[in-house]
Amino acid sequence: MPAYLIGDLDIFDLPAIEDYRTKALPLVEKYGGRALALDAAPLTLEGAWTSTNIVLLEFPDRAAIEALFASPEYAPLARQRQAASRSSMMAVDGL
């Protein structure tokens, strides 16, 4: 069953995030993922959700997302993202 990683980022160091993306996306692909959406101006349709950057990644399953996040290759990239943004990440199962 596919799974999706949803990231909500409030970026305060754009050059660092751009560098992070160039390094993280190949690693996402290594774990079977692919980018579906990256939106710097998402449209809130209902509620009080205020986001400035949303990323949506598809993986073969939730285990692949967990493996990526637990990998030693991703650890320094996670620290880079966390230093350059306030971010929330969530994994959800697909249908």
Residue 79 host element (H or E): helix 75-84
User: Measuring CA to CA, which residue among 26, 28, 50, 52 is closest to residue 38?
Assistant: 52
CATH number of the domain that residue 16 is part of: 3.30.70.100
Kindly state the tokens that stand for 25. 């996306």
Kindly state the tokens that stand for 75. 């650890």
Beta carbons within 10 angstroms of residue 39's beta carbon: 12
C-alpha 27: how far from chain center: 12
**Per-residue pLDDT reduced to its tens digit, 28-76:** 999 999 999 999 999 999 999 888 899 999 999 999 999 999 999 999 9
| Number of independent structural domains in the chain | 1
**Per-residue pLDDT reduced to its tens digit, 17-41:** 999 999 999 999 999 999 999 999 9
Distance CA(93)–CA(95), nearest Å, equals: 7
* Structural domain boundaries, residue 73: 3-93
